[in-house]
Structure 1
Amino acid sequence: MCVIVTSQADTMPSLTQLARMSDANPDGAGIAWHDGQRLHRYRNEDNMKTLAFIMDHWQSLETSPFLLHFRLATHGKVCTGNTHPFRFRKGDRTGFIAHNGIAHSYTRGRHASDSRNAILAWQAGQADLTDGSQGRFALIDQNGKLEWLTADHETIPGGTGAIDVSNTNWDTNGLIGYDLWEEAYQQGLEAGYETAIEETADSGYATTLDYTPPRR
């Protein structure tokens, strides 16, 4: 059912948490963060590429507030265009917004994605996304402020500090192999993720940010 994560500066999910979120929601992942000067976004329909980006920029992301989303596709094909978070502009605020759940009132519209249709309606003042009837929404604005539009989310321990998540359906303590996966990565022995990091760098994604809203 997707998962949204918000992490304040100096907090961070653990590698194990990221792996579990990705495994349960494999249809695209994206992250938006504020580096103290401006807002950036990276997203990819291939979760491994996004995880590789996060790992390759771990230290800078750890000191930045960020919004992270892992997608489980329900409406719309698996592609980068349907990968959260999406850009928004509402009044004098700009930034990125992510959705968890199904926006039942917006399954038909300009886009195949119910999330994108709901966000368009919200921007136009035609939808109230705060009551939870259309799922859970969180955003990060041009000043780096994180905000949950819906109150129904959870605060849990992360790898560093506490993080907020839209659900914990991905958190299955009995999963086999994740501790070994984390240990292997820490030792630099996880070849798959090393390869993804190299491919990400070669593709230009490591240095190319596709949207930078103006800072207020």
Structure 2
Amino acid sequence: MCVIATAETGSMPTIDQLTRMSETNPDGAGIAWHDGNGLHRVRHSDNGKTLAFITEHWNELKATPCLIHFRLATHGAVNTENTHPFRYTLANGEHGYIAHNGIAQKHTNGRYASDSRNAILAWQTGQTDLTDGTQGKFAKIDQTGRIEWLTPPQTIEGAEDKPIQVSNT
């Protein structure tokens, strides 16, 4: 099962936590963050590239709200296209990036080979509700840098004993 981690400004997972997330979920990793000027995303099917980016930009990322995802491929190939977080746009104009943890059973068949991408497409077009937890856990970061979990996360201590939220431990 994948893992999602979110960190508000001033907080980040530890390098050890990120390494363990990567080792347990080796099929792609991505990060989305808002630096005060805009929303950005880096994602790779090679977790090492994302981890290298995070460590090289640690202080900059720690100063921003972040959404981090490590993938364990259950549906769809191991490639950047299936690596979270995914772009979304809602009818009200909100846009940003969203990540999924779990298997979206109702969305294993659809436009994409990825159940996550199919569930997110159905959500952004108003065809499904992702807040009840039956399709896994979802977290997003919008164009203003606001992090929101559509399903309740767990809170654990991250770097410098500051809280981070995770989909699972």
State the TM bucket, normalised to the shorter chain: over 0.9
- Look at both structures and tell me which one has the larger radius of gyration over its CA atoms: 1
- Percent identity reads 64
> Which residue number corresponds to residue 75 of structure 1?
75
Per-residue Cα deviation, 1:61-94 (whole angstroms, up to 9, x for no partner): 0100000000000000000000000000012200
Aligned length: 167
Gaps of 5+ in 2: none
1:25 shift after superposition: 0.2
Whole-Å Cα distance in 2 between the matches of residues 77 and 110 of structure 1?
14
Query: What TM-score, normalized by structure 2, do the two folds share?
Result: 0.98
4+ residue segments displaced more than 4 Å: none
Question: Which has a greater percent of strand?
Answer: 2
Whole-Å Cα distance in 1 between the matches of residues 12 and 117 of structure 2?
27
Whole-Å Cα distance in 2 between the matches of residues 119 and 2 of structure 1?
16
Whole-Å Cα distance in 1 between the matches of residues 11 and 137 of structure 2?
22
> Which residue number corresponds to residue 118 of structure 2?
117
Matched, 1:2 2:39: no
Secondary structure of 1:143's match?
A: coil
Whole-Å Cα distance in 1 between the matches of residues 110 and 122 of structure 2?
10
| 1:93 partner letter | E
> Which residue number corresponds to residue 101 of structure 2?
100
Equivalent residue runs for 1:39-188 within 5 Å: 39-90=39-90, 91-151=92-152, 153-160=153-160, 161-168=162-169
Gaps of 5+ in 1: 169-216
Per-residue Cα deviation, 1:129-186 (whole angstroms, up to 9, x for no partner): 00000000000000000000012x2000001311000000xxxxxxxxxxxxxxxxxx
Query: What TM-score, normalized by structure 1, do the two folds share?
Result: 0.77
Q: Over aligned residue pairs, what C-alpha RMSD do you find? A: 0.5
